Amino acid sequence: MSFLMTIGEVSRRSGVASSALRYYEERSLITSERAGSGHRRFPRSVLRRIAFIVFAQRIGLTLEEIGAELAKLPPGRVPSRRDWARLSSNWTARVDERIAELERLRAGLTECIGCGCLSLDRCQLSNPNDRAAGLGPGPRYWIGDRPPA
Ligand code: FES
């Protein structure tokens, strides 16, 4: 198995379109070497970075945020387990935040979310007279504010 991969091979293995890989490279999230032919050649270790990028996007990180996280990895060598562990402290906090958001989202489907609609029977208790509007715009209880006790 070759250590250097073409963009097509990386695309097939990662499940990410070649156009997206080129975009990641433009944004310096991944890097390749140029073969004598001028074609991109990626080290196999790029697959782990791509997996990180894809999952980070899924939990809502922007490419700028992902770039900032990846910049913590050492340049010029394959990141070790320790390098990834150092990066994961921030990452863990973001994942926990996202889990909390998703749990509120799930619970909120049948509850008052403090959006101001006052359309559910529960709104009379949770958000009487749209009291949540005083906390700011948007569905306040989905965002994380608590309804009055
Ligand atoms: S669901 Fe919109 S204010 Fe209660």
Indicate which atom in ligand 1 lies nearest the CA of residue 116.
Answer: 3
Tell me, what's the pLDDT at 2?
60
Q: Which of 105, 123, 140 to mutate to test the pocket of ligand 1 (most atoms within 8 A of CB)?
A: 123
Task: Round to whole Å and give the CA distance between 36 and 80.
Answer: 29
Beta-bridged to residue 80, according to DSSP, are none
CB of 147 shorter than 6 A to ligand 1: no
Tell me the pLDDT band of 14, cut-offs 50, 70 and 90: very high
Q: Would the pLDDT of 149 be above 80?
A: no
Predicted pLDDT at 99: 87
Decide whether any atom of ligand 1 lies within 6 Å of the 133 Cβ: no
